[in-house]
């Protein structure tokens, strides 16, 4: 994939995960190419890649549409991400990370705190997203990070909707739990770090997927 196709891929994916292109929205290649200031070829390449990631569907004779995420899809993605992140925490803890290594996680937590103070839900979501992606990258396992980040891309649109349904108290507790994980990693408390993250992942899945289910959404 060339540079233009990479640019198109990133731009279209961002529109999908941020909800600017909603589920079942038709995507017109020509219009998208004009909006991005490029030819249709890189846009087509980008859409094929997004189809491989189950974000869009390209159907002969029916055009291109943004795929919805079912509640089952969302829960399964959360469970798979949780499994990968638990391994990531173990791998990172085994390295006895120093302050410089943990700096990206510390910064993400600070951004979450600032977003809470400003009542900036999208800012909080972005900081939370960065925390989890950094965690997987810091594990040192490139395959784990690649698969984990792809799953996060798939689930992110639903995640943003689910977070918007949560209270400020939920986001505060989640922020505190993220900070506690970093503290456990910093102190070298391997078992504590693993246990804390397992509790947070289970809590997050139950709260976020549960909130969407309570709204009677069949898909997002």
* pLDDT for position 71: 81
Among residues 29, 32, 38, 1, the alpha carbon closest in space to that of 15 is found at: 32
* pLDDT for position 192: 77
Residue 111 three-state SS: helix
* pLDDT for position 212: 65
* pLDDT for position 160: 80
The span from the CA of 11 to the CA of 13, in Å, is: 6
Domains of the chain: 3-66 (1.10.10.10), 71-214 (1.20.120.530)
* pLDDT for position 216: 61
* pLDDT for position 190: 74
CA 185 from chain center: how many Å? Answer: 22
* pLDDT for position 208: 67
* pLDDT for position 187: 86
- The three-point CA angle 105-100-192 to 5° equals 55
Residue 65 three-state SS: strand
Q: Which residues of the chain have pLDDT under 70?
A: 1, 204, 208-220
Express the helix, strand and coil content of the chain in percent, nearest 5 each.
75, 5, 20
* pLDDT for position 170: 87
* pLDDT for position 165: 80
């Amino acid at each position: 994939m060339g540079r233009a196709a990479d640019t198109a891929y990133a731009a279209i994916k961002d529109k999908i995960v941020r909800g600017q292109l909603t589920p079942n929205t038709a995507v017109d290649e020509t219009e998208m190419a004009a909006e991005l200031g490029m030819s249709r070829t890189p846009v087509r390449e980008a859409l094929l890649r997004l189809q491989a990631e189950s974000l869009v569907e390209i159907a002969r004779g029916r055009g291109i549409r943004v795929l919805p995420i079912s509640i089952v899809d969302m829960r399964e993605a959360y469970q798979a991400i949780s499994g990968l992140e638990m391994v990531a925490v173990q791998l990172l803890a085994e390295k006895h990370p120093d302050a410089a290594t943990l700096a990206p996680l510390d910064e993400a937590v600070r951004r979450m705190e600032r977003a809470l103070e400003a009542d900036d839900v999208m800012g909080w979501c972005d900081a939370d997203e960065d925390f989890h992606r950094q965690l997987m990258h810091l594990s040192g396992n490139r395959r784990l990070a690649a698969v984990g980040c792809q799953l996060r891309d798939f689930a992110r649109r639903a995640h943003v909707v689910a977070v918007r349904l949560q209270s400020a108290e939920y986001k505060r507790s989640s922020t505190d739990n993220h900070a506690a994980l970093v503290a456990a990693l910093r102190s070298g408390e391997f078992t504590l770090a693993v246990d804390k993250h397992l509790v947070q992942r289970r809590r997050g899945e139950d709260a976020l997927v549960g909130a969407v289910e309570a709204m009677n959404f069949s898909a997002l």
